[in-house]
Amino acid sequence: MPSNLWNVYTSLSGDELRVLRAIERWMRKYRYVPVELVERTSRLPPSRFSRAVKTLVTLKLVKRRLGSVSGYTLTYTGLDVLAIDNLRSRGIVEVLGDKIGLGKEGDVYVAVSPAGSKLTVKLHRAGRESFRKVRRHRSYALDLRPTSWLDVSKALAEREFKILVRLEEEGARIPSPVAWNRHAVVQRYVEGVLLADVRVLDTEAAASILRDVLETLRIAYTRVGVVHGDLSEYNVIATTEGRGVVIDWPQYVYRDEPHALELLRRDVEYILKYFRRRAGLKVELASALRYVMGESREPPV
């Protein structure tokens, strides 16, 4: 079923999309883009421009600031629409369905490709308070110096997409990346549920999922040179086939960064505690770390 966001997008005219693009074009220079500049960039006649911006404000795709210099700025929903328009025009997404996830990193929607394949579209939301707290403690934040939270979201989407490509190349169990645009990351849909939402988890099933998680952390660390950095039961999908898939990678750190080992230990310790608590599966932290760091060939479970 099409989402409300999709319905908003498909209701827009070409004029309204043109105005959105005009505002986005200048947002690295202006927090609120002057009205005259937006109108000139859109190349619309005054009457059509006025109708378009009125609709965009009503739909909360843009905000207007009044004053000595009036101007417009995109909202996250406005950026959502531009990303969806790009993905649709490139033949990646045919329709955007229901929202299936909401977290500190963004909103996740189910989608369908023109060929009928099931996808997920993750729309990053870097301004969420919980993400701001995480960002202050991540060394990668030093590389992100954009002018707005919208730009931070774009940078994080690109960052996540590129690391997913590398992880997939090395055989990690992660969602297969399809495309990215602006703050949107498109991935192949993984049939399953979040590990946190699994109601019954016996020891055998838990062992299978944990092996997959530890193997993926091992591949990330030894072959790609990164640490997930925020692993929990909310970042693992238990598939319908009883396997584990590790999701949500934008906050990864490189293994040679000062706090990488501390974060790796935290990731492994946290996930081991979860399986011990939920399934009675006891695995020593030291042996799990040796395996993940490539110091032992045999998985500890």
Q: Return the active site residues.
A: 230
What are the structure tokens assigned to 174, written together?
Answer: 């992660």
What are the structure tokens assigned to 240, written together?
Answer: 């319908």
- The SS3 call for residue 181 is strand
173 φ/ψ sector (left φ>0, alpha ψ -120 to 50, else beta): beta
**What is the distance between the alpha carbons of residues 63 and 241, in angstroms, rounded to a whole number?**
46
What residues contact residue 207 under an 8 Å CB cut-off, 6+ apart? 281, 301
- The SS3 call for residue 251 is coil
Other Cβ atoms less than 10 A from the Cβ of 14: the count is: 10
- The SS3 call for residue 98 is strand
How far does CA 82 lie from the centroid of its chain? 16
What residues contact residue 28 under an 8 Å CB cut-off, 6+ apart? 146, 147, 151
Q: Which helix (H) or strand (E) holds 215?
A: helix 203-219
Residue with tokens 């210099």: 69
**What is the distance between the alpha carbons of residues 231 and 288, in angstroms, rounded to a whole number?**
15
Contact 83, 122 (CB under 8 A): no
Residue with tokens 């640490």: 227
